[in-house]
Structure 1
Amino acid sequence: MKRIAIICIAALAGMAGAGGLESLEVFVKTVKTGRADFTQVVTSPVKEGQAPRAKTSSGTFEFSRPNRFKFIYNKPFEQSIVADGQTLWLFDADLNQVTARKQASTLGSTPAALIAAAPDLRALQADFALADAPDKDGLQWVAATPKSKDGQLQTVRVGFRVRDPATNQAAGLAALEILDSFGQRSLLTFNRFEINPALPGNSFQFKAPPGADIIRQ
């Protein structure tokens, strides 16, 4: 176990001199589980004569590669997105409604595939055109353009934090920026990101709350 940990730390430290695409490759190869807090800001397209509108939400994020992850939104409304490896579950607490979709037909070219679902870079390149993007805000960025023209995504950018020698802050996932086909922009920033934490075996099991309406698609 010590040898594995040393190899993993050395690889992540090497991200300090890498570009965004290299950082993504190292991340996918070495980070098999992760846990973080997140803040999401969704900005709608600006209409003439109107000020920009932004909505902020926050919660927690966990994943176990491949194909298992969950976003738990705590504020301002309770919502859950859970992928258990077979089914993608979406739960809206206010409506007490669950939507269930088959993962195999849902995740391929989604932002979740970039950071949590894909087992390796080759799997990502089957669904995305990947390229280095300019460094910004102290992060290394990779741009991902879906190859399928049928989806609702225009582009996705993933930002990686490099190791800071002054603070010894570890390299890792820092941001996910999504631009959809309607011009809506979503920026997720990740804080207190934990690399390869030991997650309980039932972390990604979803059980519908009593009385919830379940819609299967």
Structure 2
Amino acid sequence: MQSIRNPVAPKGNIPYLAASLRPIVSWLILPALLLCGPAPAATGPERLQDYLRGLRSLVSDFRQITLNVDGGRRVESKGTFYLKRPGQFRWEYESPVKQIIVADGKRVWLHDLELDQVSHQSQAKALGGTPAQLLAMEGPVDRHFKVTPWDAGDGREWVELRPKAKDTQVVRIRIGFAGKRLDILLMDDSFGQHTRFVFTGTKRNPRLDKDLFHFDASSAVDFLQID
């Protein structure tokens, strides 16, 4: 790990940053699957594949809720999400901590505006073996995930995904379909945290400015490279 310009350990609403950007990317890419889009009648796994097919870009406001395994600690955050396939995204966190996360196709950058600190990692390493591959890759989902139907008994049609890679920190993702739309995404990680994502004002396949996915590496005082 290479340190530049006297970095300090970042703080904020996104955990694990000091160790690696990989789990951050896992959390941030997957919620895009919740966003509204066409889904023909099919099983959960088929609906998931159908939804990803033809997805080129997205923009949405989001709310992220994370609970510890015992439900004792609740963290809520909100902001705006932008996606351009393959492999480019931008998350603008407004609260509780202002942060910007950008994947430009080569690296993933995180700018903590409160600390005026930038951390970054090779995108190939950040995405490798994580559920982030669901949006970054263009091949079939089951190349990197075991995909099976799951029954929660709540009237929704569910699909469960488990990463095939052994080193990912995301243990399980469950996506629920209500009628013709993707309704709920639940995620469990190896740290015992449970995360739920809710999106509003979603636009599928809008035209997005390419500058959204460019990060100016000179924009912070502290600089931390994780590779």
Give TM class, smaller chain.
Answer: 0.7 to 0.9
Q: Equivalents in 2 of 1:22, 1:185: separation in Å?
A: 25
Displacement after TM superposition at 1:138 (Å): 6.7
Structure 2 residue runs of 5 or longer lacking an equivalent are 1-36
Q: Equivalents in 2 of 1:62, 1:138: separation in Å?
A: 31
Say yes or no: does 1:38 pair with 2:57.
Answer: no
Partner in structure 2 of residue 24 of structure 1 = 48
Q: Equivalents in 2 of 1:34, 1:138: separation in Å?
A: 28
Query: Among the aligned pairs, what percent are the same residue?
Result: 35
Q: What SS class does the counterpart of residue 149 from structure 2 fall into?
A: strand
Structure 1 residue runs of 5 or longer lacking an equivalent are 1-11, 164-170
Name which structure has the greater RCO, CA cutoff 8 Å, separation 6+. 2
Is residue 36–residue 191 contact of structure 1 (8 Å, CA) maintained in 2?
Answer: yes
Say yes or no: does 1:108 pair with 2:128.
Answer: yes
- Read off the aligned partner of 2:143 and give its amino acid letter: A
Partner in structure 1 of residue 222 of structure 2 = 213
Q: TM-score, normalised by structure 2?
A: 0.75
Displacement after TM superposition at 1:212 (Å): 2.6
Displacement after TM superposition at 1:215 (Å): 1.2
Displacement after TM superposition at 1:26 (Å): 1.2
Displacement after TM superposition at 1:201 (Å): 1.9
Counterparts of residues 1-217 of structure 1 (less than 5 Å): 13=38, 15-46=39-70, 52-114=72-134, 116-121=135-140, 124-134=141-151, 140-160=157-177, 162-163=179-180, 171=181, 173-208=182-217, 210-217=219-226
Q: TM-score, normalised by structure 1?
A: 0.78
Q: Equivalents in 2 of 1:160, 1:63: separation in Å?
A: 21
Q: 1:141 to 1:79 in 2, by over 3 A?
A: farther
Q: 1:21-69, CA deviations, whole angstroms, 9 ceiling, x for partnerless residues?
A: 11211121111111111110010121xxxx6221100111111111111
Displacement after TM superposition at 1:129 (Å): 0.9
Displacement after TM superposition at 1:162 (Å): 4.2
Q: What SS class does the counterpart of residue 213 from structure 2 fall into?
A: coil
- Read off the aligned partner of 1:215 and give its amino acid letter: L
- Read off the aligned partner of 2:190 and give its amino acid letter: S
Q: Equivalents in 2 of 1:137, 1:45: separation in Å?
A: 22
Count matched residues.
190
